[in-house]
Amino acid sequence: MEKLWGGRFRKEIDKRMQAFVSSIYFDKKLIKYDILGSIAHAKMLGKCKIITRDEADKIIKGLKDILSQIKDGSLTVDNQAEDIHTWVENSLRVKIGEIAGKLHTARSRNDQVALDERMYLRDEIKTIQQNLLALQEALLFLARKYLGMIMPGYTHLQHAQPILFSHYLLAYFFKFNRDRERLEDLYKRVDILPLGSAAMAGTSYPIDRQYLAKELNFSEISQNSLDAVSDRDFIIEFLSDSAMMMLHLSRLSEEIILWSSQEFDFIELDDSFCTGSSIMPQKKNPDAAELIRGKSGRVYGHLMTLLTVMKALPLAYNHDMQEDKEPLFDSVEVLKNSLIIMSGMVRTLQVKSENMRNSLKGDFSNATEVADYLVKKGLAFREAHQVVGEIVLYCTDKKKVIEELSLEEFQNFQHLFEKDVLNILSPEAVVNSKDSYGGTAIENVEGSIKEAEKILNHKMKK
């Protein structure tokens, strides 16, 4: 396979060195974008009379033929090539002869790869946003279906206060909404054309970068050629956003793993998202959730890899930057697949509402409500907290729960208790008392569901 740079060298590259520097195994993922970028570049060269119209037309036809053959499988990438740019140009030379060599006029592999990566990431961001929407839809589906169902809320994995299950689900809905907003913001920084920066200093040819931006549908054009070819901030930012998404997916996975255990027994996962044991016939393992939880570490590692690769590189391009592709490509695939699997798992799970409700019995999760009751009667919160703590200790000693106490027993601790205290102790009463904006009261949650529906409807219309 002919190199694009052999003139200055007396000796052939060592085969071991060839294998070491080659990126074709992974950067062939960029082939569509490399060809589309090359077609636009050839059109621009012809328009600006840097090459003749006839030469441009032949180059464009040859590139379109290669792309068509790649799509139908009649042409495959040669894994002996140095990189995808070399393979495309050599394949073009086979088709149209030495005219193919004119394609590289006024550009470098440095601005070429930056272009390919930006075009690739634009498409993948859109796909990931759609996958996020599907997961948000699944969470909203469950929130509507189980509106009114009460469950224990937790801090330190201990029962804290009763909340609506729908409120819990909506917490993840809004986490994933922030993830989607981060991607929208990132897209603006990805959607910048680097082509025309050449190796690092720009070019002396009379190119038309505005034309290239229009042809390739870029919103902006890079303002500094050194920055354009040396920048991988947009990939690092994507990996950072991906790590955040995987963090949220991992936390939700942990909830699902806990809730589906016999100890919690809050949900039943659909068989299609579980596997069994090779030795224990009774097992139904939440493998999908466990793998998502595990793959989060893989994406975190990719972020750290690229931060480390880029941390001390002088401007402009260095071959170290070849190491950006594998972390990027793998993170994209892990994230897309994790979102798809999580959406299916959430939408098909069955909730054991009676078990959730029964788990609140005797858990003292209404204790804060009793303290708030005393505060509303005029007691300072710290004093109220002390009183209710003593009530809980009394109940523990007597093997009672707060709901079983008589008014007389309440008044033994604080004279401010009146008969109405007996009306605030049920999980329903506690939940519906939390009517501050964003709280778990059913009216609030109904409003949150409507707001979530508006968000989804607005995004789906775009």
Three-state DSSP at 66 gives helix
* Residue 361 forms part of a structural domain: no
Range of weakest confidence among 10-14, 180-184, 265-269, 296-300: 10-14
- Parallel, antiparallel, or unpaired for β 267-268 and 192-193? unpaired
What does the pLDDT read at residue 9? 59
- Is 106 in contact with 45 (CB distance < 8 Å)? yes
Token pair in block for residue 281? 């016939």
284 and 427 share one domain? no
For residues 188-198, give the mean pLDDT: 98
Residue 389: inside a domain, yes or no?
Answer: yes
Instruction: Say if CB 118 and CB 192 are below 8 A apart.
Output: yes
> Does residue 203 sit in the same domain as residue 311?
yes
Mean pLDDT in residue range 108-131: 97
Convert the pLDDT of each residue in 277-332 to its tens digit: 889 888 899 999 999 999 999 999 999 999 999 999 999 999 999 999 999 999 99
Question: Which CATH number is 310's domain given?
Answer: 1.20.200.10
CATH of the domain at 441: 1.10.40.30
Banded pLDDT at 20 (limits 50, 70, 90): low
Span 146-156, mean pLDDT?
96
Which positions are catalytic? Answer: 156, 277
pLDDT band at 4 (very low <50, low <70, confident <90, very high): low
- What is the distance between the alpha carbons of residues 259 and 262, in angstroms, rounded to a whole number? 8
Q: Which domain holds residue 393?
A: 367-461
- Whether residue 5 is predicted with pLDDT greater than 90 in this model: the reply is no
Name the residue among 234, 240, 253 with its Cα closest to residue 135.
253
Residue type, 102: K
223 shares a domain with 321: yes
CA atoms within 13 A on the CB side of 363: 19
Backbone angles phi, psi at 208, to 5 degrees: -125, 95
Dihedral through CA 249, CA 255, CA 258, CA 260, nearest 10? -90
Is the peptide bond prior to 316 cis by the omega test (within 30 degrees of 0)? yes
pLDDT at 2: 57
Residue 245 reports pLDDT greater than 80 = yes
215 with 146, same domain: the answer is: yes
Q: Can you tell me whether residue 201 is helix, strand or coil?
A: coil
Which of 105, 120, 141 represents a domain boundary (last residue)? 105
Backbone angles phi, psi at 157, to 5 degrees: 60, 25
pLDDT at 23: 73
- Among 105, 132, 157, give the residue marking a domain's end: 105
For the chain, count helices (H), then strands (E). Answer: 18, 6
Domain-located, residue 1: no
pLDDT tens across 361-420, in order? 999 999 999 999 999 999 999 999 999 999 999 999 999 999 999 999 999 999 999 999
List the one residue out of 454, 457, 453 whose CA is nearest residue 166.
453
> For position 64, what pLDDT does the model report?
97
230 half-sphere exposure, CB direction, 13 A CA radius:
17
Provide the pairing of β-strand 220-221 with 192-193.
Answer: parallel
Which amino acid would we find at residue 265?
D
Whole-number pLDDT of residue 277: 84
Assess whether 64 and 115 both reside in one domain.
Answer: no
pLDDT in tens, 61-104: 999 999 999 999 999 998 888 888 989 999 999 999 999 999 99
**Percent of the chain whose predicted confidence (pLDDT) is above 90:** 88
Domain boundary among 45, 73, 105: 105
Residues 65 and 129 in one domain: no
**CA-CA distance, 170 to 168, in Å (whole number)?**
5
Query: What's the pLDDT at 425?
Result: 95
Q: Which of 14-28, 150-164, 337-351, 360-374 has the lowest mean pLDDT?
A: 14-28
Number of domains in the chain: 3
Asked if 345 and 399 sit in the same domain, the reply is no
Q: What is the Cα–Cα distance from 347 to 359, expressed in whole angstroms?
A: 24
In-domain check, residue 258: yes
> DSSP letter at 313?
P
Asked if 264 contacts 258 with a C-beta cutoff of 8 angstroms, the reply is: yes
For residue 275, the cross-strand partners are: 285
Q: What is the mean pLDDT of residues 353-363?
A: 94
- In eight-state DSSP terms, residue 275 is B
Same domain, 344 and 392: no
Residue 360 lies in a domain: no
Verify that 298 and 438 share a domain, yes or no. no
Structure tokens at 230: 């040396």
- Which residues does 159 contact at the CB level (< 8 Å), separation at least 6? 152, 153, 359, 360, 363, 364, 365
Cβ neighbour number for residue 233 with a 10 Å cutoff: 12
Name the nearest CA neighbour of 95 among 47, 51, 58: 58
**In whole angstroms, what is the distance from residue 222 CA to residue 31 CA?**
23
Contacts of residue 188, Cβ cutoff 8 Å, sequence gap at least 6 = 219
Q: What is the per-residue pLDDT for 260?
A: 96
Q: What's the pLDDT band for 3 if we cut at 50, 70, 90?
A: low
DSSP letter string, 107-161: --HHHHHHHHHHHHHHHHHHHHHHHHHHHHHHHHHHHHHTTT-EEEEEETTEEEE
- What would the pLDDT profile of 218-240 be if each residue is shown by its tens digit? 999 999 999 999 999 999 999 99
Residue 22 vs residue 204, higher pLDDT: 204
CA distance 91 to 232: 29
